[in-house]
Amino acid sequence: MPLGATHIKFALDFREKQQVVDLDKYLSGSVYPDSRYITKIERELTHNKDLLLPNFGTSDFKKGWAMHFVCDRAFNKITDRIFSELFSIRDKTEYGTDWWINKTVIKVILDVEVLKKFEIQQYLSALDYVENPNNESIDQLKLYNRLMQDLYSKNSVSIEDVGKMLLKLGIEENLVKKVTQKSREEANKQEFITRINDLFNEMLSLGSTD
């Protein structure tokens, strides 16, 4: 669920616990699952509970891949609690609904806030590395990683910048406009930003138990 910078920062905070040897493979694995927006493969192929099985993490790429799933689970669980007023209708989780827009707003603002305290540029070369465990097009995987490299290479990443990234991932323009508009509104509320920062800290705490 979170966006690329959030996944990379989350994975980095667990690299010692995961006994990572090749950081490039690990970080590339940590963003790999959402390449499905470009490759169009089924979500179940990149996001499933088998990733947490003890025998899954046989390579640093797979360790990063598993941490992506851990990050997603922590994000969803804690978001639904901290921002419970936004997700009271549990049967409206489909793409494009108000539930989806609210969830995406939180993802966008979280990514921007993470980047304010995280010098991601030193890690972007890791995304030159790709693997295609589901036989995806290598060129499409490289394109996905380059989109993140281009976005995060900027000295300052804005909500509008992230919105442009969503467009490149195939999200409809009308939905991106709704997300960016609401993101700007919520980002001006200090109480909302405080909850966003609490969200990431709690994600790390929950992730350490998986």
The pTM assigned to this predicted structure is 0.95
- Distance, in Å, from the CA atom of 170 to the CA atom of 127, rounded to the nearest integer, reads 20
| Distance separating alpha carbons of residues 1 and 104, to the nearest angstrom | 8
pLDDT at 10 > cutoff 60: yes
- Least Cα distance to 30 among 58, 69, 1 occurs for 69
Confidence class for position 210, pLDDT limits 50, 70, 90: low
Lowest mean pLDDT among 77-91, 133-147, 187-201: 77-91
Across the range 147-153, mean pLDDT stands at 97
Evaluate if residue 91 carries a pLDDT over 70: no
Residue 88 has pLDDT above 80, yes or no: no
Q: How many domains does the chain have?
A: 1
- What are the structure tokens assigned to 58, written together? 């046989």
Domain membership of residue 149 as a residue range: 4-207
Query: What pLDDT is attached to residue 94?
Result: 78
Mean pLDDT for the stretch of residues 22-37: 98
What are the structure tokens assigned to 110, written together?
């979280």
Mean pLDDT (the chain, rounded): 94
